Amino acid sequence: MYETTIYLLFFIVFLIAVSIRILNEYQRGVVFTLGRFTGVKGPGLIIIIPLIQKMARLDLRTIVLDVPSQDVISHDNVSVHVNAVVYYRVIDPEKAIIQVEDYDAATSQLAQTTLRSVLGGHELDEMLAEREKLNYDIQQILDKQTDAWGIKISNVEIKHIDLDESMIRAIAKQAEAERQRRAKVINAKGEFEASQNLLEAANVLAQNPQALQLRYLQTLSDISNDKTNTIVFPFSGDLSKLFPQSKA
């Protein structure tokens, strides 16, 4: 009788031990009774009936998913290697367990295919210049498709867009040609503005002969300050009026 009581006591302790579950604040338990979904429990102390109930534990914290490097052919037929990172979390534990076998693997595969699909519809210049817009587009597509799994995609960030060496050299040549073109355009604009200023100055001097004569004198004064023994200076006929002429 005493031994039976001891065995019964051990059995009760064992039964209680295997029945108790403790869930942290960021965890939830999806409970199945005889194979049927009976609720989501937690956090705190949870009692599970052995052999009758089973519980799947889920983490509700944000998960960082590193998307492996993907080979993408852009809309303008440029081959690039792109990798990204996806931030997501479980918002509906029931769907995350019942609607998909492995939500981690499913989200990873979906992120890879969506990354290739979205970037493949854009040209290389758009990938490099409009990364924020591409991040948003990918995030919206993923969030819409994972909603049925109880998953919320909070953010997507494209980390690197790597090009082949030949393409890098081609882009460098294109950038150099663009810089030279801009330099020539700026130089041409400068010459055009300078010619306009000279034309305006010539019109002003032509309308006022005294101003032209004063300009000659100023130029002569500037040349006289130079360290030279010979000065060649164009002499205007109108300038002779400033000097008295001797009578024959």
Range of the domain at 101: 63-168
Asked if residue 247 belongs to a domain, the reply is: no
CATH number of the domain where residue 142 is located = 3.30.479.30
Counting the structural domains of the chain, the total is 3
pTM of the model: 0.66
Domain boundary residue, one of 43, 58, 73: 58
Asked if residue 17 belongs to a domain, the reply is: yes
Task: Collapse the DSSP code of 145 into the 3-class scheme (helix H, G, I; strand E, B; otherwise coil) and give the result.
Answer: helix
User: What is the full per-residue pLDDT of the chain (248 aa) written as tens digits?
Assistant: 677 888 778 877 777 888 888 999 999 999 999 999 999 998 999 999 888 999 999 999 999 999 999 999 888 888 889 999 999 999 999 999 999 999 999 999 999 999 999 999 998 888 888 999 999 999 999 999 999 999 999 999 999 888 876 666 666 676 777 778 888 888 888 888 888 877 777 676 667 666 656 666 666 666 666 665 555 555 555 545 545 555 54
